[in-house]
Chains A and B, each alone.
Chain A
Amino acid sequence: MATETLILPDRPAAVAPLRQKLGRDDWIMRGAVVALGLWLILTVLLPIWALLSKSFQAADGSFVGLANFQAYFASPALANSIWHSIWVSLLSTVICVLLAFVYAYGLTRTCMPGRGLFRIIAQIPILAPSLLPAISLVYLFGNQGLVKWMLFGASIYGPIGIVMGEVFWTFPHALIIITTALAISDARLYEAAEALRASPRRTFWTVTIPGARYGLISAVFVVFTLVITDFGVPKVIGGKFNVLATDIYKQVVGQQNFRMGAVVGLILLLPAALAFVVDQLMQRRQLALLSARAVPYAPRPDATIDRAMLAICSLIAFAILVILGVSFFASIATFWPYNLTPSFKNFDFDMMDGGGWRSYFNSLVMAGLTALFGTAVIFAGAYLVEKTPRFRTIRGFVQFLALLPLAVPGLVLGLGYIFFFNNPANPLNFIYGTMAILVICSISHFYSVSHLTAVTALKQIDREFETVSASLRVPFWRTFMRVTLPVCLPAVLDIAMYLFVNAMTTVSAVVFIYAPHTTLAAIAILNMDDAGDVAPAAAMAMVVFATAAVTRAIYMLLTQGYLARAQMWRKR
């Protein structure tokens, strides 16, 4: 891949000097960029490489070409999964993006009441593991389901359940992207359309949709990738409907057939990588969409539209709350569905599979460490990639490595970690089976989005700061600590929050590398469900959700108070 062409910032001509002698700062920064590159090679590139090479090897490690792939396609049950995965993901994507578009339209382009509340409700699914909607759907539509009749005799176990669960779980992701796309629009275009007496319908199709098209395309790819690589929903509710993600798990955990797992992993890598490349190309074209003279669009009240949007958004928000509420209800019922007296019996995790309450505390430690070290590494890394003078090729390559995890499904990354770190010949073998490998894997898994957040924040800081500091002979790290970090504090906290919540709820990457003393809460949900302890699984899902929600709430309170003061300088 042409690493040169990846989004490198355009540098103002004024600060791109001619050949200059490299100072001490330059050497330190270059050294740090190289160190970051090596770190990413070690924690992202080599594990993926280990997985790729494994898929071309026989059990004894000899090269066998495509033999494993032939074996894979010779098994009709396995090859079937490709088709299953594709159509289920497409269907989920279409439904999810449509719903998210309507919802985002309501939030950004109408004056319907309660928009703040709707925004908050829409974020709920992000705070829960993908296993939660699947468990709730069993309670809603399973054979003892509360509203089973709504399926008219169809079974929730299979594609219907998978699509419903995935739409719930990916909804906030699509919503964030589309809301952003709809929020930046030029009011002058609407004024022009009005002046030209275009009908609202025509305006919608010729102004609104084209304006949001990159956001929509981006949302489509993000959701498609999330669905095709998600494993929690199909594991719980897929029944006998096999998809690629559950096949990897079955091959690796169920049959310990690592080579076949590597083959499925490679197949799963293809659509995700394709989506990533297309999305990158699209984003590059979007750069010049919003001109400096654009006037932000402000929606005007329109009773009919506002009322209609309120109805639709309420319905969607209601569905989200119901799915969350059902898991809560199931977790406190003594014996669903025969004894609904509330009790805490299902929270006695120590008598169930999955490692008990210890798993929960392990998850807290893991998520905390991921947030701490991840934020430090990623933010400092983004700073170096952004601010190191010249050194283009290496910076471009590091930038590519930082974005690579976006294209790698968690299951594939986790499997790569087994191959790479569990190899006795690897000097880093000692971290296998420790908390450290879970933290490192989680940082790598969620690297790209955090990196992009940091880069965006850093781009907002004028390069003058660095130039001035350099001319005053202030070392770059002092500028970093005194100027860059405080200015970027909101982004830094955002990254920490993002890492914490994701590390708390993720199943896919860590499911292959946890050890007996590092069991995690989200994986405990999976194991309890596997053993038939569905209500305790729902209970653990609620505990994880509550933790993420409380953390998020504290974060919001803190940021409102502290950041308001710390960011006072932004105002005049």
Chain B
Amino acid sequence: MNLCTTSGLRRALLSIAAAMFGLSTAARAADLTVYTALEADQIKPYKAAFEKANPGINILWVRDSTGIITAKLLAEKANPKADVVMGLAATSLMLLQKEGMLMPYAPAGLDKVDAKMRDPAASPQWVGMDVWASAFCVNTVEAGKKNLPEPASWADLTKPVYQGQIAMPNPASSGTGFLMVSAWLQMFGWDGGWKYMDELHKNIAAYTHSGSKPCRQAAAGEYTIGLSFEYRANKTKKGGAPISIVLPKEGLGWDMEAIGIMKTTKESEAAKKLSDWAVTAEANKLYAENFAIVALPGIASSMEFIQGDIDKMLIKNDFAWAAENRDKILAEWSKRYDGKSEPKN
């Protein structure tokens, strides 16, 4: 038999085996598995900047909506796959903290971080990155065709004119959905909040999986109003969608995106480097391209289509309460609104 062909064959077989089992013949860099609920269009620059500053570390993102990443982390508690959780709602990280899944670590430069935006312990288990807040996307073309007034407040959304015109994220899967529900329950009280949602439910056309989808649907005119968050609203408008962005006047629901290291990580050196990087000015400048408020004070943001001072409109948010009651809130929400058949319109 010809030797050339055997070695060629062997090489081919080896490369197939390598492809199938994810082996690599090149020198192995540290692979850091990072669970995240950041938007798909945000994670690229973050990854590029971090990997440039820390050669030899390679981020592998596992990305999904907040509720799903949270559920996945809790389900994998016995055998965690993640090394770091980055860009997940602080309320979710507080749940992991309660379960004892996070590693306390004070990243270099922690002292510069806004005190309100981190776990207060000296070695915090999570550190905030930025604030994200609710916003409405209202399709001006469709609103014009249907003669709909622009809603200015949460209360306006329950008006009968908006029946079947509103899409909102499902709070069980979407962090953006959860922060709205949490805000209503805090602003209007437990009973008042559910009464508000009962009214709002009559006008909701669809509960979506992700927090971005309602805004994108409003942008495409599928529904006139999408309850979403300010980053997606700004970005969608920038992309040429005929929408106006409304910040409801009663106050904005909000949460923080935060980073924490899993206690069980085998890559703790690399994980700490990512945590260090997350509080640098460089990282915060990247966050500031997407959000109005970031962890390091004094970094200017540019959200060209957001009018109004988001900082002043945020509600007083009790994160401990929200994290504590997350399960109870979601169970009640699902009981009331999930799986109901299509409302008759």
A binds B: yes
Nearest CB of A to B301, in Å: 21
**CB pairs A–B below 8 angstroms (29 shown):** A80-B339, A144-B220, A155-B342, A241-B341, A242-B339, A253-B68, A255-B71, A256-B71, A256-B72, A334-B240, A338-B221, A351-B40, A353-B63, A354-B40, A369-B20, A434-B20, A434-B22, A435-B20, A436-B20, A516-B61, A517-B22, A517-B60, A530-B208, A530-B209, A530-B210, A531-B210, A531-B212, A532-B212, A532-B217
Supposing A434-B22, A531-B213 touch, asked if A338 and B141 sit within 8 A by C-beta, the answer is: yes
Contacts of A353 in B (CB 8 A): 40, 63
Question: Are A239 and B71 closer than 8 Å at their CB atoms?
Answer: no
CB distance from B8 to the nearest CB of A (A): 17
Residue B44 contacts which of A253, A350, A354, A436 (CB distance < 8 angstroms)? A350
A365 touches B222 (CB 8 A): no
Known interface pairs A143-B221, A254-B68. Does A335 touch B240 (Cβ–Cβ under 8 Å)? yes
Q: How far does the alpha carbon of A436 sit from the alpha carbon of B62 in the complex, in Å?
A: 19
Q: Complex Cα distance A80/B223, Å?
A: 27
Q: Is there an interface contact between B68 and A516, defined as CB atoms closer than 8 Å?
A: no
Interface residues, chain A, CB within 8 Å of chain B? 76-78, 80, 138, 142-144, 155, 157-158, 239-242, 253-256, 258, 334-339, 350-354, 365, 369, 424, 430-431, 433-436, 439, 516-518, 530-534
Among A157, A434, A517, A531, the one with the most B-chain Cβ atoms within 10 Å of its Cβ is A531
Chain B 249-276 near chain A by CB (<8 Å), digits 1 or 0 = 0000000000000000000000000000
State whether B75 touches A256 (Cβ < 8 A): yes
User: 20 more A-B contacts (CB under 8 A) besides A338-B240, A352-B40, A531-B40?
Assistant: A77-B338, A143-B221, A144-B222, A239-B206, A241-B341, A254-B67, A335-B240, A337-B220, A338-B141, A338-B221, A354-B40, A369-B20, A435-B19, A436-B20, A436-B21, A530-B209, A530-B213, A532-B208, A532-B210, A534-B220
Number of A-B contacts (CB under 8 A): 114
Chain A nearest Cβ from B194, distance in angstroms: 18
A521 smallest CB distance to B (angstroms): 15
Closest residue of chain A to B217 (Cβ to Cβ) is: A532
Contacts of B65 in A (CB 8 A): 530
Q: Which 5 A-B pairs have the closest CB atoms?
A: A77-B339, A532-B213, A532-B216, A256-B75, A256-B71
Using a CB–CB cutoff of 8 Å, the interface residues on chain B facing chain A are: 16, 19-22, 33, 40-41, 44, 60-63, 65, 67-68, 71-72, 74-75, 79, 141, 172-173, 206-210, 212-217, 219-223, 239-242, 338-342, 345
Cα distance A80–B61 in the bound complex, in angstroms: 36
Does the CB pair A240–B61 fall under 8 Å?
A: no
Q: Quote the shortest CB–CB distance from B88 to chain A (angstroms).
A: 15
Please tell me if the beta carbons of A240 and B220 are within 8 angstroms of each other in the complex: no
Closest residue of chain B to A336, judged by CB?
B220
| A326 to B: closest C-beta gap in Å | 14
Determine the residue in chain A with the shortest Cβ distance to B337: A240
Interchain nearest-CB distance for A427 vs B (Å): 15
What residues on B are CB-neighbors of A142 within 8 Å? Answer: 222
Q: A516 touching B62 by the CB < 8 A rule?
A: yes
B223 CB contacts on chain A under 8 angstroms: 143
With contacts A144-B222, A240-B206, A351-B41 taken as known, whether A78 is within 8 angstroms of B20 at the C-beta atoms is: no
When A155-B342, A337-B220, A351-B41 are in contact, do A256 and B60 touch as well, CB less than 8 Å?
no
